[in-house]
Chains A and B, each alone.
Chain A
Amino acid sequence: DIQVTQSPSSLSASVGDRVTITCRTSQTIGRLLNWYQQKPGQAPNLLIYGASLLQTGVSSRFSASGSGTTFTLTITSLQPDDFATYFCQQSHLSPWTFGLGTRLDLK
């Protein structure tokens, strides 16, 4: 299975900050990497697919990049609604696997 490692596992920030989360995979996956946001008590929600493509309806404050084995998700001008847990997921090879998540909380 492809291992997916996220860092950091948790992150504290303030409203208005810019944060970056990193995702690394154990083998190259091209650009087949998705990002999800999950709020407490809710299901994950797709933010980014294909490493950098914004899902319809997602704020442009979210951006992502990367290819191969290293990927990043950046959130600019943090809003109160952004404090949540973020997961990356590879769709290159079955079984599709997720990172363990990065919890973003309010400093």
Chain B
Amino acid sequence: EVRLVQSGAELKKPGESLRISCKSSGFTFSRSWIAWVRQTPGKGLEWMGTIDPGDASTSQSPSFQGHVTFSADKSLDTAFLQWDTLRASDAGIYYCARLTHYFGSETYYVFDLWGQGTAVAVSP
């Protein structure tokens, strides 16, 4: 079955570190792009960035650059999202999603497969 399975909910304190995971199955992980998307009540869905597990290259939204780190372990078919220093404002639901491109009259980039989400709470 083609799927992305994310790690479980987290409750952390401001200043702590955190790494959440996204394990793929049913498709070639190293030939895919994995994106991270945050969802919060105030800002809705926000694309954070994308990693190419094949060469570990990343593309990040300026809104998140420098605050989070994307990584991937091809041997585990797993992508990771990491914070070294959490803030209260990092609370939200984090989704990993496969970024796929379809070719037509143009090249269409879509998030065609999503993990179930990881809820992150940050509170003193």
Contact = CB atoms under 8 A, between A and B. Distances in A.
A49 B110 contact: yes
Interface stretch (B24-32, B79-87, B100-108): B100-108
Contacts of B116: 42-43
Interface stretch (B8-16, B39-47, B69-77): B39-47
- Contact-residue size bin, chain A (C-beta under 8 Å from the other chain): 20 to 34
Given A32-B108, A46-B110, A49-B102, A87 B47 contact: no
B120 to A, nearest CB: 15
A14 interface: no
Interface string A74-100: 000000000000010101001111111
A94 B44 contact: no
Contacts, number: 63
A49 B108 contact: yes
B93 to A, nearest CB: 9
Nearest to A36: B111
A95 B45 contact: no
23 contacts: A31-B105, A32-B108, A32-B109, A44-B95, A44-B114, A46-B111, A49-B108, A49-B110, A50-B102, A50-B104, A50-B105, A53-B102, A55-B110, A87-B45, A89-B45, A91-B109, A91-B110, A95-B47, A95-B61, A95-B63, A98-B45, A98-B47, A99-B44
